[in-house]
Structure 1
Amino acid sequence: MGARPVIEYYFSLISLWSYVGSRRLQSLAQKHNAQIIYKPVDLLHLFSVSGGLPVKQRSPQRQAYRFIEMQRWRSIRDIPLVLEPKHYPADPSLAHRVLLAAISELGYDSEAVHEFARRGLETVWANEEHIADPGTILRVADESGLHGSRLLNRAESDGALAEEEKALTKEVVEKHYFGAPMYVYRGEPFWGQDRLEMLDEVIESGREPILRK
């Protein structure tokens, strides 16, 4: 039996396309018994150093096409999706730190960790709630099966968690990745949730990774 597949997952809880692919990613991981290494990053900083732009700063043509794509993928993935959520954009850093605190206590394979990562994205894009609000984060953590109050307290007071999020953001920049979601398998990057089928095929086939020069 070969080694268990490991998928590094760079994302942000305010990332539209991370949300669109979130259920598909988890089902893919279950299919292959793969481990997802959650790596929440500062998406706006990543945009700023890689040539990307926040949505409202993009050209009208790109904004209009994004709106069409959102509706297409909502149907393809069969998910609820609010096209213009009222609390977007918001600062997801506190929720990211709660996730990192949960991982430090329970590990990447914890079902509650998976649930919080998925529900955190749904908070913005399906439920139209405020991912920066501590009360909302507490409730989402509890509903995910986590000890919300303890983890939220750690996220608010433990400077090491903030440093970890910064380190992950630095890591994604240094690897020359440029957006979210970015899935990395055996060193091969797959940018965007529309590459999940490619990732599935690569794990299934066992082919050698395609690496950059």
Structure 2
Amino acid sequence: MPHIDYYFATISPYTYLAGTRLEEIAAKHGATITYKPVDILQQFARTGGQPPKDRHISRQEYRAQELPRQARKLGMTFNLKPAHWPTNMAPSSYALIAAQNAGGGDLGALTHAFTRAVWAEEKNIAEDDVIRECLAAAGFDPALAESGLLEGAETYAQNLEDAVNAGAFGAPFYVVDDGARFWGQDRLEDLDLHLSGKL
């Protein structure tokens, strides 16, 4: 049974555009997933990337075209300049880690709920009420928003180390247990083909 380590950031627009396609692919191939939210800014700093605001103007302009274009292609609501971005991604990441440890809900739905809140719903995922709402909608106990903060912080820091060691330098990033790596929501088809033995 294949396993996928899924590195992502709860404020990443490309993680939002991935939707729940990873979960559909994993179900198709009987693969398991470990959700590993990371601090994307620290990941950039560790792997040679730059925050969007610090990139060359040509990269910023391309991003401004590409994100809405991909959203239209996928039929997804998207706001290029959301009211609450960037925001502190740690609280939502801690909640997701706590949810993964607790079980009983849909982690793919929770991940998408956080990113959708940022990029389509004008919500601040650093706020407890928003985090509780996302947890409940994905079938988890909303109280997870306040529990497991210490463990969440430790796991969150370890996820960054794991990402760097695995060669993950952006989000979303998918690492299969056979060593194959796939970067970006636009590589999910390639991940599917890889798991099918066709690529």
Report the TM-score, using the length of structure 1 for normalisation.
0.87
Structure 2 residue aligned with 1:83: 80
**Unaligned ranges ≥5, structure 2:** none
Q: 2:97 aligns with which of 92, 95, 100?
A: 100
Q: Percent identity?
A: 35
Report the Cα offset of residue 176 of structure 1: 3.1
Correspondence for 2:146 among 153, 159, 166? 153
Equivalent residue for 1:210? Answer: none
1:113 is displaced (CA, Å) by 2.2
Q: Match for residue 36 of structure 2?
A: 39
Q: Tell me how far apart the structure 1 counterparts of residues 167 and 174 of structure 2 sit (CA, whole Å).
A: 13
Task: Specify which of 64, 67, 70 is matched with residue 67 of structure 2.
Answer: 70
Counterpart of 2:181 in structure 1 is: 189
Equivalent in the alignment of 1:199: 191
CA distance in 2, matches of 1:19, 1:114: 11
Task: State which structure, 1 or 2, has the greater radius of gyration over its C-alpha atoms.
Answer: 1
Q: Deviations over 1:77-118 (max 9, x none)?
A: 221111111111111111111111111111xxx543222111
Asked if 1 retains the 8 angstrom alpha-carbon contact of 2:166 and 2:175, the reply is no
Q: Which residue of 2 aligns with 1:211?
A: none
**Which aligned runs of 4 or more in structure 1 are off by greater than 4 angstroms?**
none
Q: How many residues are treated as equivalent by the alignment?
A: 198
What is the letter of the counterpart of residue 95 of structure 2? V
Residue identity matched to 1:152: A
Unaligned runs of 5+ in 1: 208-213
Q: Which residue of 2 aligns with 1:123?
A: 117
Q: 1:144 and 2:141 equivalent?
A: no
Amino acid at match of 1:167: Q
Range 86-95 or range 110-119, more displaced: 110-119
The residue aligned with 2:106 is 112
* 2:173 is the counterpart of 1:176: no
SS in 2 for 1:39: strand
Cα 1:52/1:190, change in 2 over 3 Å: same
- CA RMSD, aligned part only? 1.5
